[in-house]
Structure 1
């Protein structure tokens, strides 16, 4: 993300939690700012001094709602009534299962993400120039949820469910494009490639089997319920409105190659 933003000519300040993290982001061309996103008042003061903000940070499942609420409240206080854009990260899981999901679908979130729906609507209804990006399963560079499958002998659920996917570099391109948009919209950040989980298992190795729904729920709880969603989406709106054109290799191809860290 940082290289995409700086490459597009933006000067970037990244909020980090430690001096070590500050050193890393500064080596990537950004200014590191050690701070606490849960401190709404502090964050508002920082945002007032900036022209735009993108929120991609995530906490644990237990504190994700509090973290996002703090950031949204700070953004509304700092950017309300201005032309400064604010991009919030949501997720496709808020739509539940569907064979052709788009941004007009009625929200049907799993419990893990049910809090996102009113918070995102609160932001879009505010006087902030806000955009909500709702990624699918993010993959690439050996990281993300797919990394948990590598080396395993089973995949979640029956394997018949589909996952919406997006390469992390394509997703970064979407954020940069959305930064220049008028705002007031939600966009699904999905490539249009929706592999069945069984396909992912086959790409990992010949002996990978389906774990089964109940075993997945027993092992992973609410997170497992999200992984059992059967979702397909094209991401047409982001292509049409923002000129986004995802082009990175599909997840199945990268898993078949051992899920390399450099792709």
Structure 2
């Protein structure tokens, strides 16, 4: 299909562009100004063509939906004026009437308001919008009414979007970096429904391809993630190992304004099960906490490999391996720790200088020292640099910081600097050689 996409240059729009293109569709991007020649071929901009228009000026979109356009996805953020947004819907939907072509509108879970004691509310729940999205339910109804006019009208309500280093979680990271310790907003038990931006993009593809007219879908892969956990993870991404603290609504409003402050403090539990069951949506990316701790929010220096999605995927796999080392250490799991080593002749020099050769020697030592090792403290591990010596061999620098059981930094204990030689065998990265060196200030 040839898909007209508003908001194509944005955070979500870039991911949707990538996934539409990967699925064989052509993206016609609506942009306020012409993009320089060649720039449209960067990641997130693999557009078939461009149309100049501005969703703040509905008249500028007249003629954007030509007979050659097979579908419309309206991703551009709302203008803040109900009349303007309603006029945009009218302009984009009118040419689709009587054709059965899809029109997918982007709303959001904030239209549901606080869900209270209800767990994982569905698309059937009544709307109760908070102030920042006060008129959006009316826009949703306007879109869905197009189904009666022969438009395959669909509404998607994303949760809080994370991944690719962006979205509201990036705000938490920045605040942690600037105003230690990490912060979260509202009451301690606030929860956010979350979705990875690439999983959400795949839901848009599924909706434009096969969602029925007049349907609403929640783009949520994690129904209720405690914001306190997100704040702690954001601190980790910012290099701040400290317990998070809550910021009152009044203080939050002073920074972000009262409308956004209300949204940040909104407690919700929202189900995304319907899209899985009916549309076959299969969200598979890391959860929000994992993504903050060891994903795109903490940059890694990479050498010896070209920039691009293939290298990104390998680095992500390496970070997952190091995260598995951390998890095995923190949970004192001998089997999981040993699983990170290759079986054929691995070597390991411990932080105390003990040299271990071969899998059996490493296994014997680990079985003796790991149980009970975290009674007083443990450590967190962060990948800092990756050098690809070959596509299947990588040298990895890791920062190891001692922490208490609650994740706060032990200030008077030195850091470690693990160095791993990783080998990719049968598609899986494993440790071939490792050395842990104490960092002396």
- Please indicate, yes or no, whether the TM-score normalized by the shorter chain is above 0.5: yes
Q: Distance in 1 between matches of 2:155 and 2:123?
A: 11
Larger RCO (alpha carbons 8 Å, 6+ apart): 1
SS in 2 for 1:45: coil
Match runs of 1:38-53 below 5 Å: 38-49=56-67, 50-53=69-72
The farther-off stretch of 51-60 and 160-169 is 51-60
Return the match for 1:19 from 14, 20, 34.
Answer: 34
The farther-off stretch of 195-204 and 163-172 is 195-204
The farther-off stretch of 249-258 and 22-31 is 22-31
Specify every segment of 5 or more residues in structure 2 that has no aligned partner in the other structure, as ranges: 1-15, 236-240, 300-311, 317-441
Return the match for 2:248 from 212, 216, 227.
Answer: 212
CA gap 1:22/1:179 in 2 versus in 1, 3 angstroms: farther
SS in 2 for 1:187: strand
SS in 1 for 2:207: helix
**Alignment partner, residue 251 of structure 1:** 288
1:58 aligns with 2:42: no
Q: Is the 8 A contact 1:193 1:250 kept in 2?
A: no
- Deviation of residue 59 (structure 1)? 5.0
Q: Distance in 2 between matches of 1:136 and 1:190?
A: 5
**Alignment partner, residue 229 of structure 2:** 199
CA gap 1:21/1:86 in 2 versus in 1, 3 angstroms: farther
Deviation sequence 1:95-149 (CA, Å, 0-9, x none): 0111322111110100110111011112102222110000000110110011000
- Deviation of residue 193 (structure 1)? 4.3
Length, aligned pairs only: 261
- Deviation of residue 184 (structure 1)? 1.0
SS in 2 for 1:175: helix
Q: Distance in 2 between matches of 1:134 and 1:68?
A: 17
Return the match for 1:118 from 120, 129, 138.
Answer: 138
Deviation sequence 1:175-218 (CA, Å, 0-9, x none): 00001222210101000342111111222242421112332234
The farther-off stretch of 1-10 and 208-217 is 208-217
Q: Is the 8 A contact 2:223 2:272 kept in 1?
A: no
Q: Larger helix proportion, structure 1 or 2? A: 1
Q: Is the 8 A contact 1:22 1:34 kept in 2?
A: no
- Deviation of residue 17 (structure 1)? 1.6
Q: Distance in 1 between matches of 2:232 and 2:56?
A: 42
Specify every segment of 5 or more residues in structure 1 that has no aligned partner in the other structure, as ranges: none
CA gap 1:149/1:66 in 2 versus in 1, 3 angstroms: farther
CA gap 1:76/1:156 in 2 versus in 1, 3 angstroms: same
- Deviation of residue 12 (structure 1)? 1.2
Q: Larger strand proportion, structure 1 or 2? A: 2
1:85 aligns with 2:102: yes
Q: Distance in 1 between matches of 2:142 and 2:21?
A: 30
**Alignment partner, residue 193 of structure 2:** 164
Return the match for 2:166 from 143, 147, 165.
Answer: 143
Deviation sequence 1:28-65 (CA, Å, 0-9, x none): 321122222234344241113311110111156x45x4
Q: Distance in 2 between matches of 1:142 and 1:171?
A: 15
Q: Is the 8 A contact 2:185 2:246 kept in 1?
A: yes
The farther-off stretch of 219-228 and 165-174 is 219-228
Q: Distance in 2 between matches of 1:243 and 1:90?
A: 21
Deviation sequence 1:149-181 (CA, Å, 0-9, x none): 004232111231000000000000000000122
TM-score w.r.t. length of structure 2: 0.56
CA gap 1:21/1:219 in 2 versus in 1, 3 angstroms: farther
Q: Is the 8 A contact 1:48 1:79 kept in 2?
A: no
SS in 2 for 1:164: strand
Q: Which has the larger radius of gyration?
A: 2
**Alignment partner, residue 9 of structure 1:** 24
RMSD: 2.1
Q: Distance in 2 between matches of 1:11 and 1:73?
A: 23
TM-score w.r.t. length of structure 1: 0.91
Q: Distance in 1 between matches of 2:198 and 2:298?
A: 14
